[in-house]
Amino acid sequence: MVQSRKGLRLRQSHRGSRCSRYLRPHGDGPELGHRRSSAGSASSRPDCRGQEGPDRGRTAFGILGRAVAAVAIASAAACGSATTAPKAALEKSPSGLEQVPLTIRSAKGTSQFTVEVAQTPQQQEQGLMFRQSLAPDRGMIFPRDPPGDATFWMKNTLIPLDMIFIRTDGSIARIAPNAVPMSLDPVPSLEPVGAVLEIAGGRAAELGLKPGDKVSWKQ
């Protein structure tokens, strides 16, 4: 989370001032009507009861066939909508923040994450406070605009976190591993950065991440 005067976090130094700045770097209507019209025309025909001719049979089967086709089309449309729903649901997290894919490339390979994007000052101050857990492939990114020094802390944060400070070119400037839950000790970037990534404590070591590794995400 970002440190601020409100007891939250993200503080940026600007020529010695305490000014904080935040960034984002980063139907069937017409067809049905036609069928109604067709049904009306069929009902206005002369009464042919008692005449069991082939034309009458063809007409009945034709109407039945069109009805079956209409049901099949409607079912296919409903299935199509249902398939796209989960994709849309993944765009936001339960907290309401946008989620984007993030990739870290290191000497040991490529690691994929899905991260929440904390864009506004309020979102950055809240950070991951009060979260009970964080999955190994999840995290939160704090874009900074303009880039600058960043200081984080762990107030009201219940789980250990690895803080990864990222330069504007995407390279890792510093990794602060296993930040202590609830600690008020500041965790500085030590140099100007363009974003800060928080992942579950210990994950950076598990993945062999080091300063200089490259981080990229949808901005």
Question: Does the pLDDT of residue 216 top 60, yes or no?
Answer: yes
Which of the pair, 95 or 164, is modelled with greater confidence? 164
Q: What is the pLDDT of residues 109-124, one digit of tens each?
A: 999 999 999 999 999 9
Contact 24, 142 (CB under 8 A): no
Superfamily of domain 99-217: Protein of unknown function DUF192 (2.60.120.1140)
Residues 6+ apart with CB under 8 A from 191: 149, 165, 167, 173, 174
Q: Domain extents for the chain?
A: 29-89, 99-217
The Cα–Cα gap between 16 and 136 comes to: 37
Average pLDDT value over all residues in the chain: 75
| Dihedral sign for Cα atoms in the order 84, 86, 90, 91 | positive
Locate the DSSP E strands across the chain.
99-106, 109-117, 138-148, 151-152, 161-166, 172-179, 187-188, 193-200, 214-217
Local confidence band at 144 (pLDDT 50, 70, 90 cut-offs): very high
pLDDT one-digit tens code per residue, 175-202: 999 999 999 999 999 999 999 999 999 9
Percentage of the chain beyond pLDDT 70 is 58
pLDDT mean over 196-211: 98
Cα distances (angstroms) measured from residue 91 to each of 46, 78, 129: 59, 21, 21
| pLDDT of residue 87 exceeding 70 | no
pLDDT at 219: 86
10 has a pLDDT exceeding 90: no
pLDDT in tens, 21-55: 333 333 334 343 333 333 333 344 444 444 444 45
For residue 89, pLDDT over 90 is answered with no
Q: How confident is the model at residue 8 (pLDDT cuts 50, 70, 90)?
A: very low
3-state SS assignment for residue 17: strand
Cα separation, 57 vs 27, whole angstroms: 30
Give the pLDDT band (50/70/90) at residue 94: confident
Task: Give SS3 for 111.
Answer: strand
88, with CB counted inside 10 A (0-12, 13-18, 19+), is exposed
Closest-CA residue to 115 (of 90, 144, 152, 141): 141
How far apart (Å, rounded) are the C-alpha atoms in residues 193 and 195? Answer: 6
Q: How far apart are CA 7 and CA 218, in angstroms?
A: 29
